[in-house]
C-alpha cells in the first residue's frame, strides 16, 4: 500500500474545518493517531485495565505484561541492548529534565562545560541552564552556519576536556536540520563527554538506532509518533542509568523502605515513581507496530519527497523566506517560513479559514528566533498521512493570505 493511502487510517482527517477538507500540517507539534492506536487504548481499558507490578490477579498480570511488553517493543524499535535501558516518562521534556536533575547536577561543578546549539528547543536548553546555575558549570553554544546547520569543525573546536555533556537535537523542530549526532557523539566521547540527544523530531520520522548513534541518552515523545499524549521515553546506556539518581521518589520505585533510609528497585523501575502511564505505553506499543509496518525508511523517504516538493512550491511565492537548509536531504519533514512581513499568526489564521492547520509562533526556540532576527515564524510539518495535495492546499491558502494582506507585504 502506498503511504498516501495511509490517510484513511486516521479517522480525524476525515472531516471538514471551516467548510474545507482538513489539511493537517502540524505533526511536529503532535501527530494524529491511527485507528490501530485508538483501538489498542480502548481495548486496554475495556478488557485489561489494572495497576501494574502490584496485584497478582489476572487483570493485574495482563496490565503488567502489556506495560512491560511495550518497553520491550520500544527497546527493539531504537536498537537498545535491553529493555532495562528504557525508562517511561511523560515525554521528551520530562526525560531531558530527568537527565539534568539525576545525572548532570550531581556530577557537574565550576569549570565544567555543557555544550549545546542555540537552535535547541527550550526543553533541551532550560534544564541545562538550571543545571549550570545550580552547579557553577558553564553553558557553551556552538555557532550556527548561515543555513542553520552545525559544522563538525565547530564542534571539534568547542570540545575540550572541560566538556562534560553535549546536548543536541537530532532534528531541529524549527529549521528541520538533521544534525550529525553519530559524528558529534564520536568527537564528544574522545574528550570524555556524555551525549544527550533530543529525539523528539527524529524518532517519529527516521530509523534511529541508539547503538549506531552511540548516544548516551535519547529522549522522545509518544505523541509525535502516532502514540498518545502523556507517554515518552528516556533511553540511557545501562552503566549511566545505574549511576544516575532517581528523580521521583515514592511508590513503585522502591526496594526496601525504612523510617530513615530506603533503597531503590533495579533498572528501569527506580526511575518510575508512582503509577505509570499504562494506557499510554499500550498506545505507544501500538504506534510502534503501526510505524514498523509502514517502515521507518519509507516514512523518511516520504518526508523527504514532501519536503522537497514543499520547498519547490513555496519558491513560487516570491515573498516567502524559508529558514534552514535548502536541500531536503539535510532536513526532516518540516518547512519553517515567513510570508513577507505578515505576522505568522495572521498567516495561520487565514490558512485555518481554508482548513489548513500549521503552527505559528516561536516554536519554543526563542534564542533561535533572535538569531533569525524574527519574533516568530510559520511552520508546516508533514507526516505519513500527508501528500502533495496537502502542500498544494497550503500554497493555495498562502496565496489567499497574500491577497488578504496585500498592503502588508514588503
Ligand atoms: N516541540 C513543536 O511544535 P514534549 O512537549 O515534551 O513532548 O516535547 C518537547 C520537545 C523537545 N524537543 C523538540 C525538538 C521538540 O520539537 C519538542 C516539542 C513541539 O515543535 C511543541 S513546542
Res. 401 pLDDT band, cuts 50 70 90: very high
| Ligand 1 center from residue 224 Cα (angstroms) | 9
Around Cβ 379, how many Cβ atoms within 10 Å? 25
Residue nearest atom 17 of ligand 1, based on CA coordinates: 200
Ligand 1 atom showing the smallest separation from residue 172 Cα = 14
Residue entry with cell 518526508: 303
Delineate the domains of the chain, giving CATH numbers in brackets: 3-30+295-409 (3.90.1150.10), 37-292 (3.40.640.10)
What pLDDT, in 10s, does the model give residues 284-322? 999 999 999 999 999 999 999 999 999 999 999 989 999
* Residue of 254, 294, 322, 364 marked catalytic: 364
Cα 22 from Cα 302, distance rounded (Å): 20
Which residues neighbour 223 within 8 Å (Cβ) at sequence distance 6 or greater? 30, 31, 91, 229, 230, 231
How many angstroms separate the Cα of 13 from the Cα of each of 36, 116, 342, 355, 365? 15, 37, 28, 11, 29
How much is the pLDDT for 194?
A: 98
pLDDT at 97 over 70: yes
State the average pLDDT over residues 358-382.
97
Mutate to test the pocket of ligand 1, among 100, 120, 123, 383 (most ligand atoms within 8 A of CB): 123
Sheet strands (E) in 93-177 = 113-116, 138-141, 163-169
Q: How many helices (H) and strands (E) does the chain have?
A: 14, 17
Residue nearest atom 15 of ligand 1, based on CA coordinates: 200
pLDDT at 3 over 70: no
What pLDDT, in 10s, does the model give residues 320-351? 999 999 999 999 999 999 999 999 999 999 99
Catalytic annotation present for 215? no
Instruction: Assess whether the C-beta atom of 169 lies below 6 angstroms from ligand 1.
Output: yes
H helices present in 169-214, as ranges:
181-190, 210-213
Res. 1 pLDDT band, cuts 50 70 90: very low
What pLDDT, in 10s, does the model give residues 228-286? 999 999 999 999 999 999 999 999 999 999 999 999 999 999 999 999 999 999 999 99
Instruction: Assess whether the C-beta atom of 294 lies below 6 angstroms from ligand 1.
Output: no
Among candidates 83, 384, 361, 89, which has minimal Cα distance to 225?
Answer: 384
| Ligand 1 center from residue 124 Cα (angstroms) | 9
How much is the pLDDT for 410?
A: 53
| Ligand 1 center from residue 225 Cα (angstroms) | 12
pLDDT at 408 over 70: no
Residue nearest atom 16 of ligand 1, based on CA coordinates: 173
Instruction: Assess whether the C-beta atom of 123 lies below 6 angstroms from ligand 1.
Output: yes
| Ligand 1 center from residue 46 Cα (angstroms) | 31
| Ligand 1 center from residue 359 Cα (angstroms) | 12
Q: What percent of the chain has pLDDT over 70?
A: 98
Instruction: Assess whether the C-beta atom of 219 lies below 6 angstroms from ligand 1.
Output: no
| Ligand 1 center from residue 173 Cα (angstroms) | 7
Which residues neighbour 164 within 8 Å (Cβ) at sequence distance 6 or greater? 104, 107, 108, 112, 113, 114, 137, 192, 193, 194
What pLDDT, in 10s, does the model give residues 23-46? 999 999 999 999 999 999 999 999
Among candidates 377, 281, 266, which has minimal Cα distance to 321?
Answer: 377
CA 27 to chain centre: 11
Instruction: Assess whether the C-beta atom of 115 lies below 6 angstroms from ligand 1.
Output: no
State the average pLDDT over residues 199-210.
98
- Look up the pTM and report it: 0.98
Instruction: Assess whether the C-beta atom of 228 lies below 6 angstroms from ligand 1.
Output: no
Instruction: Assess whether the C-beta atom of 201 lies below 6 angstroms from ligand 1.
Output: yes
| Ligand 1 center from residue 200 Cα (angstroms) | 6
Residue nearest atom 5 of ligand 1, based on CA coordinates: 93
Residue nearest atom 2 of ligand 1, based on CA coordinates: 29
Cα 378 from Cα 25, distance rounded (Å): 11
The phi, psi pair for 66, rounded to 5°, reads -65, -45
pLDDT at 126 over 60: yes
How much is the pLDDT for 161?
A: 98
Cα Rg of the chain (Å, integer):
22
How much is the pLDDT for 2?
A: 53
Amino acid at each position: 500500500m502506498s503511504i498516501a493511502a495511509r490517510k484513511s487510517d486516521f479517522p480525524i482527517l476525515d472531516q471538514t474545518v471551516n467548510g474545507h477538507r482538513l489539511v493537517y500540517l502540524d505533526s511536529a507539534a503532535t501527530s494524529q493517531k491511527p485507528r490501530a492506536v485508538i483501538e489498542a487504548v480502548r481495548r486496554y481499558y475495556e478488557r485489561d485495565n489494572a495497576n501494574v507490578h502490584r496485584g497478582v490477579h489476572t487483570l493485574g498480570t495482563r496490565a503488567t505484561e502489556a506495560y512491560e511488553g511495550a518497553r520491550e517493543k520500544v527497546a527493539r524499535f531504537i536498537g537498545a541492548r535491553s529493555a532495562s535501558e528504557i525508562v517511561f516518562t511523560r515525554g521528551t521534556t520530562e526525560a531531558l529534565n530527568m537527565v539534568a536533575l539525576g545525572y548532570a547536577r550531581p556530577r557537574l561543578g565550576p569549570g565544567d562545560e555543557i555544550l549545546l546549539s542555540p537552535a535547541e528547543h527550550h526543553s533541551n536548553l532550560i534544564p541545562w541552564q538550571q543545571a549550570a546555575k545550580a552547579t557553577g558549570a558553564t553553558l557553551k553554544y556552538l555557532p550556527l552556519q548561515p543555513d542553520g546547520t552545525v559544522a563538525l569543525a565547530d564542534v571539534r573546536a568547542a570540545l575540550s576536556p572541560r566538556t562534560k555533556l553535549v546536548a543536541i537535537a537530532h532534528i531541529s523542530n524549527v529549521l528541520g536540520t538533521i544534525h550529525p549526532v553519530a559524528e558529534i557523539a564520536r568527537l564528544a566521547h574522545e574528550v570524555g563527554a556524555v551525549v544527550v540527544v533530543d529525539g523528539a523530531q527524529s524518532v517519529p520520522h527516521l530509523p534511529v538506532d541508539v547503538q549506531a548513534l552511540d548516544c548516551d541518552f535519547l529522549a522522545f515523545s509518544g505523541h509525535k509518533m502516532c502514540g498518545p499524549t502523556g507517554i515518552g521515553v528516556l533511553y540511557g546506556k545501562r552503566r549511566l542509568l545505574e549511576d544516575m539518581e532517581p528523580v521521583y521518589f515514592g511508590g513503585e520505585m522502591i526496594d526496601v523502605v525504612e523510617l530513615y533510609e530506603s533503597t531503590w528497585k533495579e533498572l528501569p523501575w527506580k526511575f518510575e515513581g508512582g503509577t505509570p502511564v499504562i494506557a499510554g505505553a499500550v498506545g505507544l506499543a501500538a504506534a510502534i507496530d503501526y510505524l514498523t509496518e509502514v517502515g521507518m525508511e519509507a516514512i523518511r523517504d516520504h518526508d523527504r519527497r514532501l519536503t522537497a516538493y514543499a520547498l519547490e512550491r513555496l519558491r513560487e511565492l516570491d515573498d516567502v523566506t524559508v529558514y534552514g537548509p535548502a536541500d531536503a536531504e539535510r532536513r526532516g519533514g518540516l518547512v519553517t517560513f515567513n510570508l513577507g512581513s505578515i505576522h505568522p499568526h495572521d498567516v495561520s489564521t487565514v490558512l485555518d479559514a481554508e482548513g489548513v492547520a500549521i503552527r505559528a509562533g516561536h516554536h519554543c526556540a526563542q534564542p533561535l528566533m533572535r538569531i533569525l532576527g524574527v519574533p516568530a515564524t510559520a511552520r508546516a510539518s508533514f507526516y505519513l498521512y500527508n501528500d502533495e495535495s496537502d502542500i498544494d492546499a497550503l500554497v493555495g491558502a498562502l496565496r489567499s493570505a497574500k491577497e488578504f494582506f496585500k498592503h502588508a507585504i514588503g
